[in-house]
């Protein structure tokens, strides 16, 4: 899941981005409203965390413009004080939820999970593909009842593929939702991570779950042991 964090205060932005990355989210940071609108225009984010007080265009304007442009992604607004006016205004401009600063980081995570669940098609916290189980709340995965030791990035890739289980997922989609702006599209990083993930989930199991479709992408599925797996 890829998040755009819009926050002009460098130390707060840095701290939140670091914490979110540790939770396996891919995070881009925008320091003002213009940068936020630009980045949201070129990338397909799963969620935006939007501070209200920003230099130039504020969070309200950014949210209004996103909605005016037809963007439906979840927006979590950050308000400096618990001002009812700010909350009402925020929700009126199309924000889905708000959080009052200062907040506990765990509270931020809970709001993010709730919004991601609510988004698009009510995403469940527990995903299953055959005997592979992914706990999206704890960010843990197990197969055949055994815990898998995954790095944060391996887990993020697995969760993304699991949310689209049975579908062929292309490289561009993976790059867009699992990596951030620092991803080099010419690198073979995705292939490397898929290989590592495959070793961890499929080695020692007769039934393979992670399949490659040459030229098309990857698919997590109990079926489809065809051709080039
Ligand atoms: Ca601010």
Q: How far is the CA of 50 from the centre of ligand 1 (A)?
A: 9
- Structural domain boundaries of the chain? 2-119, 126-220
| Terminal CA-CA length for the chain | 26
Cα 150 to middle of ligand 1, angstroms: 35
Separation of CA 54 and ligand 1 centre (Å): 5
How many angstroms is it from 199 CA to the middle of ligand 1? 44
Could you tell me if residue 150 is left (phi over 0), alpha (psi between -120 and 50 degrees) or otherwise beta?
A: beta
User: Considering the domain 126-220, what is its CATH architecture?
Assistant: Orthogonal Bundle (1.10)
Torsion of CA 80, 81, 86, 87, to 10 degrees: 100
Q: Which fold has domain 2-119?
A: Rossmann fold (3.40.50)
Over the stretch 73-127, which tens digit does the pLDDT of each residue have?
999 999 886 677 887 888 888 899 999 988 999 999 999 998 988 755 556 778 9
Whether residue 225 is predicted with pLDDT greater than 90 in this model: the reply is: no
Ligand 1 centre from 167 Cα, in Å? 40
Cα separation, 118 vs 113, in Å, equals 9
Which of residues 42 and 121 earns the better pLDDT score? 42
Tell me the CA–centroid distance for residue 10 and ligand 1, in Å: 9
How far away, in angstroms, is 113 Cα from ligand 1 center? 23
For the full predicted model, state whether its pTM sits above 0.85.
Answer: no
| Residue range 157-194, pLDDT digits in tens | 999 999 999 999 999 999 989 998 888 888 899 999 99
> What does the pLDDT average to over 23-32?
95
Say what the pLDDT of residue 122 is.
55
């Amino acid at each position: 899941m890829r998040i755009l964090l819009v926050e002009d205060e460098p130390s707060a932005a840095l701290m939140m981005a670091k914490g979110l990355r540790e939770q396996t989210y891919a995070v881009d940071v925008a320091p003002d409203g213009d940068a936020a609108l630009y980045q949201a225009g070129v990338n397909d984010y799963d969620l935006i965390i939007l501070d209200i007080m920003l230099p130039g265009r504020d969070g309200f304007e950014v949210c209004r413009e996103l909605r005016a442009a037809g963007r439906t992604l979840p927006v979590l607004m950050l308000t400096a004080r618990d001002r009812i006016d700010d909350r009402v205004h925020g929700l009126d401009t199309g924000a889905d939820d708000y959080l009052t600063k200062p907040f506990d980081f765990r509270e931020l995570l809970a709001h993010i999970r709730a919004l991601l669940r609510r988004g698009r098609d009510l995403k469940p916290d527990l995903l299953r593909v055959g005997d592979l189980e992914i706990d999206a709340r704890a960010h843990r995965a197990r197969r055949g009842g055994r815990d898998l030791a995954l790095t944060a990035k391996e887990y993020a890739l697995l969760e993304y593929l699991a949310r689209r289980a049975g579908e062929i997922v292309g490289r561009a989609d993976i790059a867009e939702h699992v990596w951030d702006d620092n991803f080099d599209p010419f690198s073979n990083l995705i292939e490397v991570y898929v290989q590592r993930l495959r070793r961890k989930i499929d080695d020692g199991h007769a039934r393979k779950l992670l399949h490659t479709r040459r030229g098309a992408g990857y698919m997590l599925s109990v079926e489809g042991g065809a051709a080039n797996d």
